[in-house]
Amino acid sequence: MPVPVLTIEQMRQWENATWAAGIAPETVIQQVGEQVARRARQLTRDGDTVLLLAGKGHNGDDVRAARLHLTNRNVELLNVDDPAARRRELDAALTRRPALIVDGLFGIGLDRLLSTAWMAFIGAVNAAGRPVLAVDIPSGLNAETGDTMGATIRAQVTLTVGAPKVGLLTAHATPSVGRLEAAPHIGLIPCPVSSGLQWTLPEDFCEFPPPRPAESHKGSFGHLLIFAGSGGYHGAAVLAARAAQRARPGLISLFTPETAYLPVAAQLQAVMVHIWRRNTAWPENATAMVIGPGMADRELPAEVVNEARWCWREAEFPMLCDASALDWLPRVEGVSSAERILTPHPGEAARLLRASVEEVQADRPGAVRELAREFGAGCVVLKGRHTLVGGAEGPIFVNSSGNAGLAQGGSGDALAGYLGGLLAQPALQSDICNALRYGVWQHGAAADLLETCRRNWTVEDLVEHLGNTPAC
């Protein structure tokens, strides 16, 4: 199950309910310490020096508890209650260039501007340029708003415990948070509070997609239509089609303008490639459609735009609209009862909502709601750091996978195709939101896997790895 994204007050309620149930805080601290140590070991090698910075609160207790589990590491613990008095020890430790610094100076209770001494202490940690693992929240960050309280630790990884805090997901907190990971299983009772934002966990997909029946044939897994490509943008169509293949629908038919047909058809084998012409007949057994990747040529016939609008209103199967096709959609509710999905990045979302990118990023969940309402979409996939999946109502799911390596041309085309390949399969259409969540998570997980193997991976490499990351 996903975990809720919580306010500070909600996190306190959860903790207090746990203590009231008879679970001692020390028990939870020990479990947090074990998980912090496990992540620290993953970020270092045998014999490396790990510098632990522990404040006087529970975050400091978590870091102190981690010390016992940091096997085969040279561990230095610096307990910091007075930053000015400990500054010389910090400077000496930093000159030894630790492989990792574990930050447990401040927790989610910080709601005041830091003193000059604390700001100087944090500034020295940042200036050292060493990798930092922040426990629960980077010290100096307001967990409610994401604001900097004078100075903030700049973490490579933030391991938030129990559940993510709302401030960690704000755009202006990103430079301090780095990669956000959650450690939900720390001995607390089941969360007694709810939230409209839900953090996706890999274990959510332990039994997804379901096993394929032994008697299956290609007709069992749907027929995806892809409308993609144009003169000068044929690569997007190829990437979308190859990514769709990784989801393994039964059949894929790709329609592309004549200007892109030869380079597209020459690169695909199992995908059936057709020239799109006016009044082109679709396959009668189509079960889903993706439209938009690479359709950026200004010389596209007007009929393409008109057909996209007609499909949005009338097609009786799920339809995913991406890239240039987003600008063609009518601002009316779809007539068809079939699912409609938008997959904008923040710039496209801003254009659709007649807003600025800054306004979209300041309230990403609100942008998801508004896009779904304005265009009659059942689901919106708002791409970016922690891609969101949700609709006009109900929970919005926050993706937990992915990294900055996805910021390259073609990444969105691959995602659109892969999602389409999932949507086309009848067995997955009973819960389309879950299929989208899974596809988004796999897209990010493939990037995470590649990042551990090589630093020069490309979108073509990403496509090769789509769908191959085990969830549990």
Q: Which two tokens stand for residue 204?
A: 């959510």
Give pLDDT, residue 119. 98
Q: How would you write the chain as a 3-class SS string? A: CCEECECHHHHHHHHHHHHHCCCCHHHHHHHHHHHHHHHHHHCCCCCCEEEEEECCCHHHHHHHHHHHHCCCCEEEEEECCCHHHHHHHHHHHHHCCCCEEEEECCCCCCCCCCCHHHHHHHHHHHHCCCCEEEECCCCCECCCCCCECCCCCCCCEEEEECCCEHHHHCHHHHHHHCEEEEECCCCCCCCCCCCCEEECCHHHHCCCCCCCCCCCCHHHHCEEEEECCCCCCHHHHHHHHHHHHHHCCCEEEEEECHHHHHHHHCCCCCCEEEECCCCCCCCCCCCEEEECCCCCCCCCCHHHHHHHHHHHHHCCCCEEECHHHHHHCCCCCCCCCCCEEECCCHHHHHHHHCCCHHHHHHCHHHHHHHHHHHHCCCEEEECCCCCEEECCCCCEEECCCCCHHHCCCCHHHHHHHHHHHHHCCHHHHHHHHHHHHHHHHHHHHHHHHHHHHCCCCCHHHHHHHCCCCCCC
How would residue 47 be classed by pLDDT, with cut points 50, 70 and 90?
very high
pLDDT band at 333 (very low <50, low <70, confident <90, very high): low
- In tens, the pLDDT along 262-284 reads 999 999 999 999 998 877 788 98
- pLDDT at residue 335 is higher than 60: no
Average pLDDT over residues 49-55: 98
Q: What's the pLDDT at 1?
A: 82
Res. 345 pLDDT band, cuts 50 70 90: very high
pLDDT at 11: 97
* C-alpha to C-alpha distances, 219 to 163, 215, 269, 272, nearest whole angstrom: 42, 11, 19, 15
Token digits for 227? 């409308």
pLDDT score, position 386:
96
User: Is residue 311 pLDDT above 60, yes or no?
Assistant: yes
pTM equals 0.95
Check pLDDT > 80 for residue 331. Answer: no
Percent of the chain with pLDDT over 90: 89
The sign of the torsion formed by the CA atoms of 197, 199, 200, 203 equals negative
- pLDDT digits 0-9 by tens, 109-160: 998 999 999 999 999 999 999 999 999 999 999 999 999 999 999 999 999 9
Q: Which residues contact 101 (CB under 8 A, 6 or more apart)?
A: 50, 51, 53, 125, 128, 130, 131, 132, 133
In order of their start, the domains of the chain are: 3-192 (3.40.50.10260), 218-465 (3.40.1190.20)
pLDDT at 309: 86
**Residue 181 tokens, joined:** 């990971």
CB 355 within 8 A of CB 325: no
| pLDDT (0 to 100) of residue 257 | 92
The token pair that represents 102 in the structure block: 């574990």
Indicate the pLDDT class of residue 336, thresholds 50, 70 and 90.
low
